[in-house]
């Protein structure tokens, strides 16, 4: 079996249409030679009990069997790395790969042994190796005692790696296959993981890549994972060539980090971003960043509406806000997605129908802005973001009470509890001896965890060793995961709900006579109250350092109180004056806000009496900031009372990222009654800023 034979099979299983003439040109051989290769492939397929490939009118057909034949070849490659003789160029390439992954010196004997060539053969190729490495911008030092070593930085090594991959993808993909599928080079072939992540990001963010670009990104990520697994990271900060592409790079690297459980520093993401922007030859949709702030505000409204409809507070989830707004921005500039549902979307549709239906009901405002209805595929991709956020919400708030039964001594019980407390969704509330169970008929807890052989039908019971083995922890973790997945709330949460319902039922009955409406109101209000009670125990979400907080954006000098205004146009002009005065925006910035309002209406009204106005993020803005204006009298921004505005926050944005944290915090702080009271009662701007400084 030789490499052109394998390479042709690889090509035929990659997709596309091929003719004999195509391969003759590609491999610089005659058409008859290619026909002979096809005959050899058919002989191989027959030996594997697979149907043969046919040549009809110079076109190669019936290639389905090659998919199975490829599996046989992959097995062959894994076990027969050196089944054919490497050319000099290939030996040089493989030598360079080995050196790139060595932190210290490696002897010529070690390299020769790994490549299964003689020491003499390898030494004869050293001149070629040196010249090749010079073309890559690499430098190696040699020592008669120690061997060879590359002395360049990790960033220079990665840049050389990209040059090597580009060359190999164009000329010899088979050699790359040999590298990633053999433990002589890599411990594991990560291509399936990388492909799954790339394909998901491509779909979610509507990114189109050429075949060459896709392969380059795929193999670079595979090669770099091996580097990061061994603790070799890029250490130098990089200036981002195109900040708009950072979203894609960040999503790819975050998913790799989560899937493979490896730490990925910011510098690695920056490098991939620049690779994606400048080195790859790709076709990417132009995102409409002039509308990005508008979409971000509509995203906040969608999250707020979904939280109210599902009675799950997702408003404090910055990850949801960030990822969903980026997804919707990308969606804005693309043609409607109307493709067949893949397995992931089918699962979302089947298992989360309530979330999908709720989403469809709440998408009306976005659809009006997009001037079209969303397709089923687009709705399901948006639903994926909410499903992930809800799952995280349950992970953060569902804590199950457990009773521990053990007859061990105090010290052993303390050790057992210490190990069980590592499970964040588990809370040991009682510790009993087995004989104490005789006095208990029912349990208010969710689980019974025991080191003793007991039987109890009234509560789910898990038997563990007094050593609390890894297997025990996995068993308990699996039970907790099933409870969360099946949306089975902890009993203590149900008890809290019952208490709240009992407390509020009398008051609600005073105002709602209809029995059914009254019961519905009691249930809805109690859910909202419970969510509020859980606010203080929620997870803190991470904000990226390059984004600014509200206290950095909304300074006291940008605030003005009791401004006189008769019309909404005048109110906008007045609200922008502090930004103009301190050099944040051009004087005409207010005109762009007025123009947007006339075109789309006052969509930026985020709650009764409050607006977060903005114009185009580009050209007219010089630095990020937020002004605040309190009008002396409320002004109508539309025709009905819902558009009556007294408080105006006006945004100046220079890109779609730096203000994101501040905007997120502003929406959250507006949900606090004490802040709204302060906006109304403050005598001087410093009172408002002092509150923001404490909270943000």
pLDDT one-digit tens code per residue, 490-518: 887 656 666 677 778 878 888 888 887 88
Predicted confidence at residue 456, as pLDDT, reads: 65
- Is residue 136 classed as helix, strand or coil in its secondary structure? coil
Predicted confidence at residue 534, as pLDDT, reads: 53
Residue 213 and residue 280 in contact, taking contact as beta carbons nearer than 8 Å: yes
Number of Cβ within a 10 Å radius of residue 63: 16
Query: Measured between alpha carbons, how far is 23 from 10 in angstroms, rounded to an integer?
Result: 12
β-pair partners for 461: 448
List the one residue out of 217, 79, 99 whose CA is nearest residue 149.
99
Among candidate residues 240, 265, 283, the one where a domain is terminated: 283
Q: What is the DSSP string of 72-134?
A: HHHHHHHH-TTSSPPPHHHHHHHHHHHHHT-SS-B-HHHHHHHHT--HHHHHHTHHHHHHHHH
Is 121 domain-assigned?
Answer: no
Is 137 domain-assigned?
Answer: no
Query: Measured between alpha carbons, how far is 227 from 330 in angstroms, rounded to an integer?
Result: 32
- H helix or E strand, kind and range, residue 57: none
- pLDDT grade, residue 548 (50/70/90)? confident
Is 483 domain-assigned?
Answer: yes
- Is residue 486 classed as helix, strand or coil in its secondary structure? coil
Residue 120 and residue 78 in contact, taking contact as beta carbons nearer than 8 Å: no
Are 383 and 474 part of one and the same domain? no
For residue 174, which phi and psi values (nearest 5 degrees)? -60, -35
pLDDT at residue 466 is higher than 60: yes
- pLDDT grade, residue 545 (50/70/90)? very low
pLDDT at residue 44 is higher than 50: yes
Chain centroid to CA 255: 5
How many angstroms separate the Cα of 109 from the Cα of each of 92, 99, 106, 114, 128?
Answer: 15, 13, 8, 9, 18
Average pLDDT, the chain: 82
β-pair partners for 54: 61
Is 123 domain-assigned?
Answer: no
Predicted confidence at residue 73, as pLDDT, reads: 56
Number of Cβ within a 10 Å radius of residue 56: 8
Residue 230 and residue 263 in contact, taking contact as beta carbons nearer than 8 Å: no
Question: String of b and e for 514-539 (b: at least 16 CB within 10 Å)?
Answer: eeeebeebbeebbbebbbeeeeeeee
Are 406 and 368 part of one and the same domain? no
Q: For the chain, report the end-to-end CA distance as a whole number of angstroms.
A: 66
**Model confidence pLDDT, tens digit, residues 171-189:** 777 778 778 877 667 878 8
Mean pLDDT of 631-637: 94
**Model confidence pLDDT, tens digit, residues 222-246:** 999 989 988 899 988 888 877 778 8
The two tokens of residue 187 are 């411990």
Query: Measured between alpha carbons, how far is 91 from 119 in angstroms, rounded to an integer?
Result: 13
Are 244 and 311 part of one and the same domain? no
Predicted confidence at residue 557, as pLDDT, reads: 93
Are 295 and 349 part of one and the same domain? yes
Q: Averaging pLDDT over each range in 2-6, 390-394, 562-566, which range is the top one?
A: 562-566
The two tokens of residue 661 are 């944290």
Predicted confidence at residue 145, as pLDDT, reads: 84
List the one residue out of 528, 523, 529 whose CA is nearest residue 508.
523
pTM here? 0.53
Number of Cβ within a 10 Å radius of residue 481: 12
Picking from 378-387, 450-459, 539-548, 588-597, which range would have the lowest pLDDT averaged per residue? 539-548
Q: What is the CA radius of gyration of the chain?
A: 32
Residue 602 and residue 643 in contact, taking contact as beta carbons nearer than 8 Å: yes
pLDDT higher for 558 or 40?
558
Predicted confidence at residue 1, as pLDDT, reads: 43
Mean pLDDT of 300-305: 90
Residue 40: CATH number of its domain: 1.10.10
Mean pLDDT of 395-402: 84
Are 579 and 682 part of one and the same domain? yes
**Model confidence pLDDT, tens digit, residues 245-269:** 888 888 899 899 988 889 899 999 9
Query: Measured between alpha carbons, how far is 361 from 306 in angstroms, rounded to an integer?
Result: 9
- H helix or E strand, kind and range, residue 679: helix 673-681
pLDDT at residue 90 is higher than 90: no
Are 585 and 513 part of one and the same domain? no
Residue 38 and residue 45 in contact, taking contact as beta carbons nearer than 8 Å: no
Residue 604 and residue 627 in contact, taking contact as beta carbons nearer than 8 Å: no
Predicted confidence at residue 620, as pLDDT, reads: 74
pLDDT higher for 219 or 66?
219
List the one residue out of 586, 637, 639 whose CA is nearest residue 611.
637
The two tokens of residue 134 are 């010079």
Classify the C-alpha dihedral 213-214-217-223 as positive or negative.
negative
Are 408 and 474 part of one and the same domain? yes
For residue 401, which phi and psi values (nearest 5 degrees)? -80, 140
Mean pLDDT of 635-645: 89
List the one residue out of 349, 347, 366, 377 whose CA is nearest residue 306.
366
How are the residues of the chain apportioned to helix, strand and coil, as percentages rounded to the nearest 5? 60, 10, 30
Is 57 domain-assigned?
Answer: yes
Among candidate residues 487, 509, 525, the one where a domain is terminated: 487
How many angstroms separate the Cα of 339 from the Cα of each of 335, 345, 434?
Answer: 12, 11, 59
CA–CA–CA angle 575, 580, 581 (5° rounding)? 105
Residue 216: CATH number of its domain: 1.10.1790
Predicted confidence at residue 252, as pLDDT, reads: 92
Task: Give a three-class secondary structure readout of 201-227.
Answer: HHHHCCCEECHHHHHHHHHHHHHHHHH
pLDDT higher for 75 or 500?
500
β-pair partners for 644: 636
Residue 435: CATH number of its domain: 3.40.50.2300
Residue 689: CATH number of its domain: 3.40.930.10
- pLDDT grade, residue 630 (50/70/90)? very high
Pairing of strands 447-450, 400-405: parallel
Predicted confidence at residue 657, as pLDDT, reads: 67
**320: phi > 0 → left, psi -120 to 50 → alpha, else beta; which?**
alpha
Helices 246-260 + 211-229 axis angle, to 10: 50
pLDDT at residue 544 is higher than 50: no
- Is residue 670 classed as helix, strand or coil in its secondary structure? coil
Residue given tokens 């005048």 in the structure block: 570
Classify the C-alpha dihedral 399-403-408-409 as positive or negative.
positive
pLDDT at residue 343 is higher than 90: no
Predicted confidence at residue 283, as pLDDT, reads: 44
pLDDT higher for 618 or 340?
340
Is 302 domain-assigned?
Answer: yes
The two tokens of residue 618 are 């580009």
Predicted confidence at residue 369, as pLDDT, reads: 87
Half-sphere exposure of 548 (CA within 13 A, CB side): 18
**Residues of the domain holding 279:** 191-283
Classify the C-alpha dihedral 125-145-187-113 as positive or negative.
positive
Residue 189 and residue 22 in contact, taking contact as beta carbons nearer than 8 Å: no
Among candidate residues 232, 259, 283, the one where a domain is terminated: 283
Predicted confidence at residue 91, as pLDDT, reads: 87
**Model confidence pLDDT, tens digit, residues 646-673:** 999 999 987 666 777 788 889 888 888 8
Is 471 domain-assigned?
Answer: yes
Are 519 and 385 part of one and the same domain? no
Q: What is the DSSP string of 399-458?
A: -EEEEEE--S-HHHHHHHHHHHTTSTTEEEEEEE-GGGGGG-S--SSSEEEESS----TT
For residue 449, which phi and psi values (nearest 5 degrees)? -110, 125
pLDDT at residue 291 is higher than 80: no
Total number of domains constituting the chain = 6
Are 561 and 691 part of one and the same domain? yes
Counting residues of the chain whose pLDDT is more than 90, the rounded percentage is 26
- pLDDT grade, residue 560 (50/70/90)? very high
- pLDDT grade, residue 579 (50/70/90)? very high
Query: Measured between alpha carbons, how far is 695 from 315 in angstroms, rounded to an integer?
Result: 16
How many angstroms separate the Cα of 547 from the Cα of each of 294, 442, 465?
Answer: 18, 52, 48
pLDDT higher for 641 or 455?
641
Are 310 and 274 part of one and the same domain? no
Residue 596 and residue 294 in contact, taking contact as beta carbons nearer than 8 Å: yes
Are 677 and 590 part of one and the same domain? yes
- Is residue 512 classed as helix, strand or coil in its secondary structure? coil
For residue 658, which phi and psi values (nearest 5 degrees)? -60, -30
Predicted confidence at residue 74, as pLDDT, reads: 55
Are 356 and 476 part of one and the same domain? no
Q: Where does residue 381 rank: exposed (0-12), middle (13-18), buried (19+ CB within 10 A)?
A: buried
Is 308 domain-assigned?
Answer: yes
pLDDT at residue 281 is higher than 80: no
């Amino acid at each position: 079996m030789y490499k052109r034979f394998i390479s042709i099979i690889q090509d035929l299983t990659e997709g596309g249409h091929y003719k004999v003439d195509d391969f003759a040109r590609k491999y610089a051989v005659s058409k008859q030679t290619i026909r002979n290769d096809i005959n050899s492939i058919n002989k191989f397929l027959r030996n594997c009990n697979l149907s043969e490939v046919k040549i009809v009118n110079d076109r190669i057909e019936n290639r389905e069997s090659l998919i199975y034949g490829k599996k046989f070849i992959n097995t062959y490659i894994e076990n027969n790395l050196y089944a054919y003789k490497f050319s000099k160029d290939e030996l040089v390439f493989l030598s360079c790969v080995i050196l790139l992954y060595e932190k210290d010196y490696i002897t010529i004997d070690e390299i020769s042994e790994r490549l299964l060539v003689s020491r003499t053969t390898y030494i004869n190729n050293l001149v070629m190796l040196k010249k090749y490495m010079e073309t890559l911008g690499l430098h190696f030092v040699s020592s008669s005692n120690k061997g060879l070593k590359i002395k360049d930085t990790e960033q220079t090594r990665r840049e050389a790696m990209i040059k090597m991959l580009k060359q190999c993808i164009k000329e010899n993909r088979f050699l790359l296959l040999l590298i990633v599928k053999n433990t002589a080079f890599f411990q594991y072939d990560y291509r399936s993981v990388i492909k799954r992540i790339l394909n998901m990001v491509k779909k979610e963010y509507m990114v189109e890549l050429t075949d060459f670009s896709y392969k380059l990104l795929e193999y670079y990520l595979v090669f770099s994972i091996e580097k990061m697994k061994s603790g070799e990271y890029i250490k130098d900060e990089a200036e981002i060539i195109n900040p708009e592409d950072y979203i894609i790079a960040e999503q790819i690297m975050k998913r790799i980090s989560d899937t493979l459980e490896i730490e990925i520093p910011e510098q690695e993401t920056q490098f991939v971003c620049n690779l994606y922007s400048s080195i790859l030859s790709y076709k990417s949709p132009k995102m409409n960043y002039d509308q990005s702030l508008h979409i971000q505000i509509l995203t906040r409204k969608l999250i707020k509406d979904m939280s109210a409809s599902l009675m799950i507070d997702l408003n404090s989830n910055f990850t949801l806000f960030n990822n969903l707004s980026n997804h919707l921005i990308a969606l804005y500039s693309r043609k409607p997605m109307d493709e067949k549902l893949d397995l992931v979307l089918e699962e979302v549709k089947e298992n989360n129908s309530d979330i999908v239906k709720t989403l469809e009901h709440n998408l009306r405002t976005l659809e009006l802005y997009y001037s079209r209805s969303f397709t089923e595929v687009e709705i399901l991709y948006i639903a994926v973001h909410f499903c992930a956020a809800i799952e995280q919400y349950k992970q953060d708030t569902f804590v199950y009470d457990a009773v521990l039964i053990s007859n061990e001594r105090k010290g052993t019980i303390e050790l057992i509890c210490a190990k069980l407390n590592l499970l964040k969704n588990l809370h040991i509330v009682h510790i009993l001896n087995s004989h104490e169970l005789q006095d208990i008929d029912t349990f208010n807890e969710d689980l019974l965890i025991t080191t003793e052989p007991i039987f109890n039908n009234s509560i789910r019971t898990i038997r563990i060793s007094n050593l609390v083995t890894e297997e025990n922890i996995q068993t308990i973790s699996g039970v907790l995961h099933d409870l969360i997945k099946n949306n089975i709330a902890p009993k203590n949460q149900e008890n809290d709900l019952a208490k709240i319902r009992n407390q509020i039922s009398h008051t609600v009955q005073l105002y709602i006579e209809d029995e059914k409406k009254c019961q519905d109101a009691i249930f809805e209000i109690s859910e909202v109250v419970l969510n509020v009670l859980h606010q203080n125990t929620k997870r803190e979400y991470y904000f990226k350092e390059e984004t600014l907080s509200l206290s950095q954006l909304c300074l006291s000098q940008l605030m003005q109180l009791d401004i006189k205004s008769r019309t909404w146009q005048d109110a906008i002009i007045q609200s922008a004056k502090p930004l103009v005065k301190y050099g944040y925006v051009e004087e005409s910035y207010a005109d762009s806000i007025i123009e947007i309002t006339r075109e789309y209406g006052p969509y930026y009204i985020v709650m009764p009496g409050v607006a977060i106005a903005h114009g185009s993020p580009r050209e007219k803005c010089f630095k990020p900031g937020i002004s605040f204006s309190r009008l002396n009298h409320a002004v109508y921004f539309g025709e009905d009372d819902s558009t009556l505005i007294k408080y105006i926050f006006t945004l100046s944005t220079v890109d779609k990222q730096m203000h994101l944290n501040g905007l997120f915090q502003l929406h959250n702080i507006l949900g606090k009654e004490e802040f709204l009271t302060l906006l109304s009662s403050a005598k001087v701007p410093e009172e408002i800023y002092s509150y923001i400084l404490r909270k943000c």
